Amino acid sequence: MEKQLDYDLFGNVVQRDPLLRERFGEPPFTILDAKGGNWQARKRLWKALGIESEVGRNAQLLGGGKGNNEEQDAALTDKYGRKITNGVGVFDNATSIFDPSLCELMYRWFAPEGGAILDPYAGGSVRGIVANYLGFKYTGIEVREEQVLSNRKQGAEILAADNQPVWVLGDSNKVLEQWATPRVARKFYKEEEVTPIERHPLGVGWVWVKREDLYMAPNNANDSKSRSAHHLIAKAKADGFKGVTTAGSRLSPQINIVARIAKHYGMEFHAHCPTGALGVELVEARDEFGAIVHQHVAGYNSVIQARARQWGEEQNMAVIPFGMVCGEAVEQTEAQVCQSNLPHECKRIVVCVGSGMNLAGILWGLEKLGRKIPVLGVRVGADPTKVLDEFAPMDWRERCELVEAPEDYHTEVANNPWEGVKLDPIYEGKCVPFLEDGDLFWVIGCRNTLAMGNVEQLEEAPRAFDMIMSCPPYGNLEVYSDMVEDISNKPHAEFVRLYGEIIAKAGKLLKRGGYAVWVVSEFRDKQGYYVNFVGDTITAFERAGLRYYNSAVLLQPLGSAMLRAARIFEASQKLCKVHEQILVFKKP
């Protein structure tokens, strides 16, 4: 392509390469001009998608503007379309909208194709929607629930269902600390050991998690049902039975558990289930562990269980009860309750209820300890009330609330892994929507074909991102909420400290060679002096081990600045600010 010719004021030829903008979106200079026609055209295209970053913010921010100085009040009115009212920094139209054209440019320049992007100050929806629209994978952390819900709603309206940004509700300081903590190899627990209780983040709070999924019986059969099955099968072997039999659905994790343990003891195993295609658990039990599968036309549980009992009597085989409905299962779970040192702060126990045996054991354990902790049982499958009437304490209805899982039994939920724990998609996964801050989530187990993912997940390195992109709160210039976790409402010294902690934790998650792009602006204190926010930001990143790599100035459209400049300068000799700064850091 021919280069276009132009001439300067002195008649010298100025050569302009049209490929520069075409190659990079904008010329990669240290000054970026948001006033330019190309920039504005791109911005209009992005807005045409329907991005409304201001949605989800309160109609009135809590303030920060009016008390500082006239320059900032006027700048806020110009930049965000706000009107300062009541003399206390209350805004009418709190619509701080991130520039999607800048977002697009930074992603294309500093993130690898399809890269993972972290945003510790997610705010509105722009950075997430632009990222995933361009093929990147965005994860943003935001402390305000209304903003997260709004962002997710916009993402669902604009992007495909399988291409949604991830907005995490929570305090960046806590969430990043959790993500940056190295995960160690996790051992499985043997029958004589007590499985651990862990603490996991939940939105802006925490839940405890009882990890019964980490119990390991022979042949890697795991979860609390495996503990009961192990005792029953070992006893059957000692009593001289030649084999064992049990009943279950075509998706039954119990059949897989019994097959594994029976093979360990060299015992014959026959499984009874309805006709139809076998689930992956039964296929593995048959092909890998030698289970002999008998399928019956009548698919009712009661019929299948009767067939298994009859087979056992005729063939001299011990029957492992359907759903582990036996006193052994209650005793095993009761022991875990009594020996686990349940947190005193625990507000409630949430447990998945299939047959009801684990719930019965939990209630008996609480009875033995004298602890009056309410229990929420999430029902999955058949009605467990008859089993609970037989095996649970007589007053179980007063001590436990049963709720129906929102999904059908056969529906697999997709919230896996949840906080590093692989949940069973038919059972435990359906409990997550019911969890609240302060709960103890009793995880019974995860089917064996998925369970080893718990170890793999825990042995992974901490989460890693290819790029960090954010626009932090400008001190208390905009106070977004009065929440304890919101750093925008903190005194300046506390703000700077917490700000540095968040940058340090985010930096740990950035891959080596990755870039952090930070959009900032100076702001003034109440006496009208700049607080050196840009300097504080550079210092925080360098302390976090990232190197200061690029700096650029983003020129904003002048808007009413042409009218404000004279008034501001004549009143205070302050220059009218019409730019923001883009700081780029690189992790060596």
Per-residue buried b or exposed e for 95-104, using 16+ beta carbons within 10 Å of the residue's own CB: bbbbbbbbbb
Instruction: Place 459 in a pLDDT band, splitting at 50, 70 and 90.
Output: very low
20 within domain boundaries? no
Can you give the CATH number for the domain in which 271 is found?
3.40.50.1100
pLDDT of 468: 97
The answer on pLDDT for 379 being more than 70 is: yes
- Mean pLDDT (whole number) for 551-562: 85
Closest CA to 118 of 511, 469, 586: 469
pLDDT of 436: 92
Identify the domain boundary among 293, 308, 324: 324
Q: What's the 3-state SS for 518-567? A: EEECCCECCCCCECCHHHHHHHHHHHCCCEEEEEEEEECCCCCHHHHHHH
Closest CA to 521 of 554, 558, 496, 480: 554
pLDDT of 82: 33
Same-domain check for residues 472 and 443: no
Instruction: Give pTM, 2 decimals.
Output: 0.53
pLDDT tens for 219-229 read 878 777 888 89
Same-domain check for residues 45 and 171: yes
Q: Which residue has the tokens 């977002």?
A: 103
- In this structure, is the dihedral angle defined by the CA atoms of residues 504, 507, 508 and 512, taken in order, positive or negative? negative
Same-domain check for residues 334 and 319: no
Q: Tell me how long the chain is.
A: 588
**Total tally of structural domains belonging to the chain:** 3
pLDDT of 483: 54
The answer on pLDDT for 14 being more than 60 is: no
pLDDT of 445: 83
Closest CA to 289 of 230, 231, 220: 220
The answer on pLDDT for 563 being more than 60 is: yes
pLDDT of 66: 39
- In this structure, is the dihedral angle defined by the CA atoms of residues 206, 208, 211 and 212, taken in order, positive or negative? negative
The structure tokens listed for 452 are 């080893």
- Choose between 164 and 485: higher pLDDT: 164
- In this structure, is the dihedral angle defined by the CA atoms of residues 461, 467, 473 and 475, taken in order, positive or negative? positive
The answer on pLDDT for 435 being more than 80 is: yes
pLDDT of 246: 93
Same-domain check for residues 164 and 203: no
pLDDT tens for 15-74 read 555 565 667 778 889 999 988 888 988 888 898 888 876 554 443 444 444 344 445 444
- Per the prediction, the chain carries an average pLDDT of 82
Same-domain check for residues 438 and 451: yes
d(CA 171, CA 575): 36
pLDDT of 421: 82
d(CA 519, CA 539): 15
472 within domain boundaries? yes
CB atoms within 10 A of CB 89: 24
Same-domain check for residues 50 and 167: yes
Same-domain check for residues 150 and 230: no
* Contact indicator for 549, 584 with CB cutoff of 8 Å: yes
The answer on pLDDT for 357 being more than 60 is: yes
The answer on pLDDT for 413 being more than 60 is: yes
Instruction: Place 415 in a pLDDT band, splitting at 50, 70 and 90.
Output: low
pLDDT of 171: 84
The answer on pLDDT for 539 being more than 80 is: yes
Same-domain check for residues 483 and 574: yes
Same-domain check for residues 345 and 445: yes
- Choose between 8 and 553: higher pLDDT: 553
Q: Phi and psi at residue 244, in whole multiples of 5°?
A: -135, 160
Same-domain check for residues 563 and 485: yes
23 within domain boundaries? no
pLDDT of 78: 41
234 within domain boundaries? yes
Instruction: Place 336 in a pLDDT band, splitting at 50, 70 and 90.
Output: very high
- Mean pLDDT (whole number) for 142-164: 89
Q: How far is CA 68 from CA 197, 492, 561, in A?
A: 49, 13, 18
- Choose between 114 and 61: higher pLDDT: 114
CA 24 to chain CA mean position, Å? 33
**Range with the lowest mean pLDDT among 129-138, 387-396, 402-411, 508-517?**
402-411
d(CA 478, CA 468): 22
pLDDT tens for 188-198 read 566 667 888 98
339 within domain boundaries? yes
Same-domain check for residues 193 and 333: yes
The answer on pLDDT for 77 being more than 50 is: no
350 within domain boundaries? yes
**Range with the lowest mean pLDDT among 48-62, 85-99, 216-230, 425-439?**
85-99
Share of the chain above pLDDT 90, in %: 41
5 within domain boundaries? no
122 within domain boundaries? yes
Can you give the CATH number for the domain in which 132 is found?
3.40.50.150
Identify the domain boundary among 303, 324, 345: 324
Same-domain check for residues 100 and 185: no
- Choose between 488 and 16: higher pLDDT: 488
Domain that holds residue 437: 181-216+327-459
The answer on pLDDT for 184 being more than 50 is: no
Instruction: Place 165 in a pLDDT band, splitting at 50, 70 and 90.
Output: very high
